[in-house]
Amino acid sequence: MDYAIPADRVVITVAQTGAITNKSLNPNVPEQPAEIAQSAYDCFNEGASIVHIHARDPQGENTSELSIFEDIHGRIRDKCDIIIQDSTGGGPNLTQEQRINCLGASPDMASLNMGSMMRVAGPYKGVPFSNMPDEIDWFVEQITQRGIKPEMEVYSHAMLQEVRRLIKEGRVTKPYYINIVLGMRYQGAEPATPKTLTSMVDNLPPDSIFNCTGVGSAQTPLATMAMIMGGCVRVGLEDNIYYAKGELAQSNAQLVAKVVRIARELGKQPATPAETRQYLGLPPAKA
Ligand code: KMH
Ligand code: ZN
């Protein structure tokens, strides 16, 4: 079976908030549930079909509080049928147990980080982003036993090895949805270059659908390249706070609109959430 996305469509994920970006870096980062939901709706109207969610407490700190995830989901689902993908990466202040709390809010998808890296800058310098093989097994079990689709985030060629292992052990089902994240400033992450993306795409397991996340100034160039290669793309303030060099983005929707303009020039329309569900093998949205 061929799991390719139709050539005239592109699946766009918006990662709106993240764990590191905040209002002091860009005042337009949505942090509270009402802001996150309004931003998701604006991005849906621009063409995003998946929203990647991190939650913050009222003080703006990363939180795993289930009621906050439920509040965010409820507000988004009141507005539109965009696919909800929660982060189990969470943030550096959260334990592994806390990182899966969001699954209780029944997202459609959840991120699954496919290896460990070391934070080398900022307040969490020296704190590992730990995703050891047995930890990955635990996360994937927690995700899939709830009927949630894992979005496997890989930051290096080595992490594709973990993807192959999960496939071999029957822990994930087709189509395998793999997010190639390039340009993270972590030890162990690969750079956001065209050659790295090409090589990683060449090394994907069969029956995969890939998404590309270019971090920082690589967001637009790598998204463009991924679209040409038939991939899905992720944009948003989690990964990049600028619209152009030295110019902060005004909103997540502005970044989605930018990639949609490029997509249209390439002969592609943004996939709707219903189309995306079909491509990724997700069940239809609940009425
Ligand atoms: N900030 C991203 C590049 C997660 O949320 O699980 C990493 C990320 C991890 O999205
Ligand atoms: Zn994230």
Residue among 242, 224, 252 nearest 76 (CA): 252
Is the distance from CB of 119 to CB of 112 less than 8 angstroms? no
Q: How far is the CA of 50 from the centre of ligand 2 (A)?
A: 13
238 in ligand 1 pocket by Cβ < 6 Å? yes
77 burial type by CB count under 10 A (0-12 exposed, 13-18 middle, 19+ buried)? middle
* Residue to mutate (ligand 1; options 87, 100, 119, 184; most atoms within 8 A of CB): 87
pLDDT tens for the chain, 287 residues: list them.
578 899 999 999 999 999 999 999 999 999 999 999 999 999 999 999 999 999 999 999 999 999 999 999 999 999 999 999 999 999 999 999 999 999 999 999 999 999 999 999 998 999 999 999 999 999 999 999 999 999 999 999 999 999 999 999 999 999 999 999 999 999 999 999 999 999 999 999 999 999 999 999 999 999 999 999 999 999 999 999 999 999 999 999 999 999 999 999 999 999 999 999 999 999 998 77
Pocket test for ligand 1, best of 238, 240, 252 (most atoms within 8 A of CB): 238
d(CA 127, CA 115): 14
CB of 87 within 6 A of ligand 1: the answer is yes
